[in-house]
Homo-oligomer: A and B are copies of this chain.
Amino acid sequence: MEYIDKSTFQAFENRKRARFINSLSGFKSANLIGTKDQNGLSNLSIISSAVHLGASPALIGIIFRPDVSPRHTLENIRQTKVCTLNHVNESIIKKAHQTSARYPKDISEFKACDLTEQYLEDHHAPFVKESAIKLALRLVREVPIEENGTQFLIMSIEGVYLPKEILQEDGFVNIEMAQTICVSGLDSYHTTEKKGRLNYAKPDKSPFYIT
């Protein structure tokens, strides 16, 4: 076991430190955020910082670094207050990753990365047709994280699209069945293999798999 103290990793070259620290929180969600600005220009951006915030009300948190690629996405959300969140699945990993390239503002990553814009119900922002699980989100509040200049966006879930067969009776959504993948670090993509769901834990009971 190796110990890497703060002064050691702070002295890492910038890219190396970014790769290192990015790996440490564990596996991360992989989503594509779809937006459309006031002039009708769409934008698509991969993000690994979407996190469950609460079920009642239904909230998702997303961390944005304003200085890097999802910059246009953040501007669009500020303008229109809405975006979509689309799970990255196994068949679109490369296309999804490519949305992280710094395209000029007037180029839509949908077109540049060969992913399909989809408009559903009366939601303003575009969904990704190739994604099996898609959420419509609305901005609730933007929390500035002064410690590093990032923004923590609190978003409410306004609607959910998903294949009928992955929604179980008790509310659990089998995202693995929809081939949703996960990320580690800046650039490593992983499929998953289910071990099982565990029972609701109680002090006087031993844990066991329910499925």
Contacts and interface: CB of A to CB of B under 8 A. Distances in A.
A41 interface: no
B52 A22 contact: yes
A3 B160 contact: yes
A201 B16 CA distance: 17
A187 to B, nearest CB: 5
B148 A53 contact: yes
Say which size band chain A's interface belongs to. Answer: 35 or more
B51 A171 contact: no
Contacts of A12: 171
Contacts of A150: 53-54
Contact of A97 (B31, B159, B207): B207
Given A12-B171, A192-B27, A63 B53 contact: yes
Contacts of A15: 170-171
B163 A133 contact: no
A115 interface: no
A125 interface: no
A106 interface: no
Contacts of A163: 1-2
Interface in A60-118: 60-61, 63, 65, 85, 87, 90, 93-95, 97-103, 107, 112
